[in-house]
Structure 1
Amino acid sequence: METGHDRDHPLHGGMMNTVRRRGDRVLRLAPDHAPALHAFLTDLAATGFTGAPRPLALNPDGHEELTYLEGDVALPPFPAWALNDRTVTLVARLLRRYHDAAAEVPFDPGARWPTALSDPEGGPLLCHNDPCLENVVFRDGRAFALIDFDLAAPGRPLWDVAALAFYLAPTLDPESAADTGFRDADVPHRLRLLADGYGLSHADRALLPATVVRYNEVSRAFVLDRVERGDPVFTRDLERLGGMARWDRRRDRLIEREPLFLRALTE
């Protein structure tokens, strides 16, 4: 007889993979570089870092099994608690804990790490590259874990911080922000909170605004590529949000406000 632990339950929120929960594990289609990623995540757990899934199996049918991390994941439309300033600080601290642990873990430089959202300059550790709210597990009032490492690739820690700023400041233009919970967000203030929470160096603070601009361009190219490939999920999402013009407005707004962001981060 089938029990509740045998039955699969869909997990919602991802755009690139179908994810199911079966008891205390997650089943999902494995990326091509799964052997290298699994080796990294296994070694990451050995450092004592508990804020990432542990790999359990690579199955012959092309699926992987990972530990299920109990907690809350914020999905759009985001709840109020996920939008507040405290969440910015908590997630920045989680990202720093991840980077500190990842710096101790070697990764296979010969693996075919995905380049879709990776740092164009490369770097010394495996960046997550997609630290959006949908990829953060909250537990007992704090940001507990990062999930969905499919797009992880070598890069600079600053690249991940820029990605976090892109999602959580967030660096939206007013028109795009108007239909979100971030409509009244004080972006320069939230950037400062993020940098302080992470413990970003003065040198990297000076580079952060320009790096966010670059992350925006890489993200734009990633979305456009998915749409041109005929991906129905990305195509529907792009149409819902007003097409590529939204990305162009975001780029122009970022460039316009770069001096303001720089002052907020360094003064």
Structure 2
Amino acid sequence: MTGEGEGEAADGEALVGGMANAGAVFRRGALVERPAPRNAYALHAYLRALKEHGFDAAPTPAGLTADGREQLTFIPGDVALPPFPRWVLTETALESVGSLLRRLHEASAAIAIDTRVEWPRDLADPEGGTMLCHNDVCPDNVVFRGGRAAALIDFDLAAPGRPLWDVAMTARYWVPMLHPASAAALYSAGLDAPVRLRILADSYGLSSRERAELPGAIEQATETCRAFVASRVADGDPVYLQALAERGGWERWDRMQAWLAAYRNTFTAALLN
């Protein structure tokens, strides 16, 4: 996750936010320069194909540098960083995220997946799929203009999956699908999770079958996210070690997963009724 808040750096404007590339992303004029993922060539081809299929709300690749960095067009706008401000948590903002994700999926579904590429498995749908999903549509990775989602950034974790998986991942961050005690650290108080989940489903345009499956997919996505964090912690990643300690440790994850299971019927009813 990279976000696009600006700071000062000797060799450009540092874009702050996110975790994986913190301190390594810079804006230089009309371009953003950041560490290139291992599958950069395939990912850049995908981003170009999105534009060819009518999705103009993602960065355009400009090339790779000799020292292993990628250059992408800078997308102007506002990116919310934690703790998230009220303007990014409005119902209008949430609806616009659902609509933008649907637009992405409609374009992505028309793009053949390069099966020769080793797409990242970190947050990928364990069931796989026939289209690339973003997998990390968190507030840090959505550019807003005029209070509405205008573009998606940071496709580093894109991988084959089901559209519903991407909706589930998005719901985790935007509803949010967190125990209220955990949500309070990053989100404003008073957010109604069942209502917001319905808003996201409506704005995306989920079918009745997909709505019935969404709560279970969110639980599955939460298990995947927990495994992702556990892997980073086991590797001694200082960023994830610090985040885990500051956000309540594994008890936070236990509480979150128990809450999701306890309210599964409530979420299902909100989606279907």
TM-score, normalised to structure 1, is: 0.96
The aligned residue for residue 197 of structure 2 is: 191
- Aligned mate of 1:102, from 89, 98, 108: 108
Q: CA deviation at 1:7?
A: 4.5
The aligned residue for residue 254 of structure 1 is: 260
The 2-side partners of 1:63 and 1:48 are apart by: 27
The aligned residue for residue 13 of structure 2 is: 9
Do the aligned partners of 1:13 and 1:75 also contact (CA within 8 Å) in 2?
A: yes
Do the aligned partners of 2:27 and 2:33 also contact (CA within 8 Å) in 1?
A: yes
**1:127-172 deviations in Å (ceiling 9; x for gaps):** 0000000000012332111100000000000000001111111111
Q: Does 1:89 align with 2:107?
A: no
**1:199-246 deviations in Å (ceiling 9; x for gaps):** 011110000000000000000000111111111111111100011110
Moved >2 Å (runs of 4+): 177-183
Do the aligned partners of 1:36 and 1:107 also contact (CA within 8 Å) in 2?
A: no
Deviates more, 1:174-183 or 1:232-241: 174-183
The amino acid that maps onto 2:79 is: V
SS at match of 2:42: helix
Q: CA deviation at 1:50?
A: 0.9
The aligned residue for residue 243 of structure 1 is: 249
The 2-side partners of 1:102 and 1:38 are apart by: 13
- Aligned mate of 2:238, from 229, 232, 246: 232
The 1-side partners of 2:47 and 2:186 are apart by: 34
Structure 2 residue ranges without an equivalent (≥5): 1-7
Do the aligned partners of 1:206 and 1:266 also contact (CA within 8 Å) in 2?
A: yes
Q: Does 1:160 align with 2:144?
A: no
Do the aligned partners of 1:170 and 1:182 also contact (CA within 8 Å) in 2?
A: no
SS at match of 2:62: strand
The aligned residue for residue 85 of structure 2 is: 79
Matches within 5 A, 1:46-125: 46-125=52-131
- Aligned mate of 2:134, from 128, 140, 163: 128
The aligned residue for residue 5 of structure 2 is: none
Q: CA deviation at 1:180?
A: 3.3
Q: CA deviation at 1:107?
A: 2.3
TM-score, normalised to structure 2, is: 0.94
The 2-side partners of 1:173 and 1:80 are apart by: 19
The aligned residue for residue 147 of structure 1 is: 153
Structure 1 residue ranges without an equivalent (≥5): none
The amino acid that maps onto 1:8 is: G
The 1-side partners of 2:117 and 2:213 are apart by: 29
RMSD across aligned positions (CA): 1.3
The amino acid that maps onto 1:178 is: A
Deviates more, 1:62-71 or 1:132-141: 132-141
The amino acid that maps onto 1:15 is: M
Q: State the aligned residue count.
A: 263
SS at match of 1:56: strand
Deviates more, 1:14-23 or 1:153-162: 14-23
SS at match of 1:244: helix
The 1-side partners of 2:169 and 2:84 are apart by: 18
The 2-side partners of 1:168 and 1:14 are apart by: 16
Q: CA deviation at 1:182?
A: 3.8
